[in-house]
Amino acid sequence: MKIKDKEFKKLVEVYDEDCPKLKCYWPRPDPGVYTQGVGYRQRSYKVGWLCGTREVRGCPDIKELKKKGGNK
């Protein structure tokens, strides 16, 4: 799902509409696909901006974060 980030004024690929309110939210430009020993290369499709946490480590359980008050 894509949402408009209020600070960057860009569409950001996220898991849930509440992601910008959570601590784990890390918007960044899409660096491409990383291959060990080769480095980054461009994707075959354009993503633009995405949540770096989701890309690097995967999303934590959104429901658990909301229960714990994982808001900023």
pTM, two decimal places: 0.69
Residue extents of the structural domains in the chain: 2-68
The reported pLDDT for the residue numbered 59 is 83
Phi, psi angles (nearest 5°) of residue 63: -60, -40
d(CA 42, CA 64): 34
Each residue's pLDDT expressed in tens, for the chain with a length of 72 residues: 999 999 989 999 998 888 898 888 999 988 888 788 988 787 767 778 999 888 888 888 776 666 666 555
The reported pLDDT for the residue numbered 12 is 94
